[in-house]
Amino acid sequence: MFIYVLNKNGKPLMLCKPRKARLLLKNGKAKVVNRTPFTIQLLYGCSGYKQPVNLGVDAGSKYIGLSATTKQKELFKATVELRQDISTLLESRRSQRRSRRSRKLRYRPARFDNRKNRKGLLAPSVQHKVDSHLTIIRKVCNILPIGNIIVETAEFDSHKLKNPCVVGIGYQHGDAEGFYNVKAAVLNRDTYSCQICGAKDTRLEIHHIQFRSQGGSDTMDNLVTLCKNCHGKVHSGELTFDKKIKSFKHATHMNIMRKRLVELLKDEFSNVFETFGYLTKFNREKLRLCKSHCIDAFVISHNFDAKLSSVEFRFRKVRRHNRQLHKAKPGKGGKRQRTQSNYIVNGFRRFDKVMFNGVECFITGKRSSGYFQLKTFDGAVIHQGVSSKRLKLLEPVKGWLVDWRMAIPSST
């Protein structure tokens, strides 16, 4: 394990060993500026010798792989987990606003009056992923003297993923070709019969196998024909319709964000290069390395002779605050109760990293009485309600959960 070092002006230098860092801190020549990854800042001037460092970025829709390497060794390795709940929260906000308009609780103008067709506008879920890529790359550049940034982008052919045999003019012929709409195509595919009981001479309805509220789409693969009776039983839980649905949501997100990500990186950093997945796979198999996000990032950094790091950092993006101020339904007397607890309770906030009985964990739930729920980074419950008097604050929350573990063996 190495210690990350900043100079007197806050600029990144090369790493040092833990023994040297302890001596600098003991003699008052440095101070601690971050705990994970452990970073110190020098209190005196130095020559500032730097080696050329490449940062490999394995861009993704769910996970990001990062690896900073020199020709001799790997200096930084991390796997980043992105948020996947933004579209669900926006749908919840949309339904609550619609409810307020219908009940006329208070005036809110229609959404389409404020909507503007701005060029280059991305969906909030995709924009968050682009912003998270930029944020985590800045974090690495703030603790290491990065010279080159190499990003692997991917472009997916969704039509080819659905039908591997499609070629040429076949791209112009979709599943619903020759029908007025998707519903007519689904009825024809299912031979105008219920796919559970087989009834034909009854009212037929179209059912979403994966509900829209759970991220399901209106594609034919996610639609099935059911009679009215079976449809009601499926929604009430009396019947189940099990069918695996292939989701291309993350492939679509990568197609949207890949060009925007590279453009924004080139606007902010000088040496940014783009590579592709087939090159990464070829080099990884040539080096006989196992498949993982941080291993792919190591291959992308293009320092194949570097010694792999034994420590892997883990980052997870978390929600900063609950924006809903009041509960959806007023209580007795029409009083709208607040849905939020105090932002800070006894000096602790949600997602703070704390020490409890010698275990490093995170606050995942808080009560105004001063009792907290504790979990590890992997989600294991440590305690359901522990007093703040038994906790020691290690790191305040900064929008990310940060932890580390010993790296998975890299050779196949």
What is the CATH classification number for the domain harbouring 380? 2.30.30.140
Find the mean pLDDT for residues 338-366: 90
User: What pLDDT is stored for residue 104 in this prediction?
Assistant: 58
In a domain, 327, yes or no: no
Find the mean pLDDT for residues 19-33: 96
Q: Express each pLDDT in 376-393 by its tens digit.
A: 999 999 999 999 999 999
pLDDT tops 80 at residue 363: yes
More confident residue, 120 or 109: 120
- What mean pLDDT is reported for the chain? 88
Q: Are residues 132 and 266 in the same domain?
A: yes
- pLDDT category of residue 106 using cuts at 50, 70 and 90: low
Q: Are residues 180 and 62 in the same domain?
A: no
Q: Are residues 253 and 241 in the same domain?
A: no
**Cα 22 to Cα 30: distance, rounded to the nearest angstrom:** 9
pLDDT tops 70 at residue 412: no
Q: Are residues 60 and 141 in the same domain?
A: yes
More confident residue, 340 or 56: 56
pLDDT tops 90 at residue 29: yes
Q: Are residues 348 and 388 in the same domain?
A: yes
In a domain, 129, yes or no: yes
Indicate the number of domains in the chain: 4
More confident residue, 28 or 102: 28
Q: Are residues 392 and 407 in the same domain?
A: no
**Residue 177 burial (CB count, 10 A):** 8
What distances in angstroms separate CA 198 from CA 190, 211, 230, 281, one per listed residue? Answer: 10, 22, 10, 47
User: What pLDDT is stored for residue 103 in this prediction?
Assistant: 65
Q: Are residues 296 and 183 in the same domain?
A: no
For 333-354, letters b (16+ CB in 10 Å) and e give: eeeeeeeeeeeebeebbbbbbb
Domain that holds residue 183: 168-246
In a domain, 410, yes or no: yes
| CATH number for the domain harbouring residue 232 | 1.10.30
pLDDT tops 80 at residue 409: no
Domain boundary among the residues 203, 220, 246 is at: 246
Q: Are residues 308 and 263 in the same domain?
A: yes
Q: Are residues 392 and 410 in the same domain?
A: no
Residue 371 CA, chain-centre distance (Å), reads 29
In a domain, 323, yes or no: no
Q: Are residues 314 and 403 in the same domain?
A: yes
- pLDDT category of residue 71 using cuts at 50, 70 and 90: very high
pLDDT tops 60 at residue 105: no
Find the mean pLDDT for residues 345-369: 93
Find the mean pLDDT for residues 236-246: 80
Find the mean pLDDT for residues 313-331: 80
In a domain, 328, yes or no: no
Find the mean pLDDT for residues 180-190: 89
